[in-house]
Amino acid sequence: EAQVTQNPRYLITVTGKKLTVTCSQNMNHEYMSWYRQDPGLGLRQIYYSMNVEVTDKGDVPEGYKVSRKEKRNFPLILESPSPNQTSLYFCASSRDRRETQYFGPGTRLLVL
């Protein structure tokens, strides 16, 4: 089944404890992206990747890192999480930058 997977689905952590949210797609998509969803602010792009080893900032990159060492994986790294990073995170992928983005199931993160 073609899909985007994210892990973990739910995470509670404390301020400053590094964490990684994994994202993987099995559709051989070149383009991958991370969004966060917050009440009143909607969905905003954090980072995107056009292909392996090619990443760039979205609208709200502060406090996040990404890497794209393999085509299928695009992990989101929070080096020192803070409470304002409490959010619902979505990973998405598409065949290329013009095509439809398909979203993972989401990761709910709570930073205490």
Partner 1 sequence: AQKVTQAQTEISVVEKEDVTLDCVYETRDTTYYLFWYKQPPSGELVFLIRRNSFDEQNEISGRYSWNFQKSTSSFNFTITASQVVDSAVYFCALSDSIQGAQKLVFGQGTRLTINP
Identified binder of partner 1 from the candidate list 34, 48, 74, 89, rule CB under 8 A: 48
Window 9-28: residues binding partner 1 (CB under 8 A) = none
| DSSP structure string for 46-100 | EEEEEETTEEEE-S--TT-EE--SSTTB--EEESS--GGG-EEEEEEEESSTTSP
Establish if 8 lies at the interface with partner 1 (CB under 8 A).
no
Residue ranges in contact with partner 1 by CB under 8 A: 31, 33, 35, 42-43, 45, 48, 50, 56, 58-59, 88, 90, 92, 94, 97-106, 108
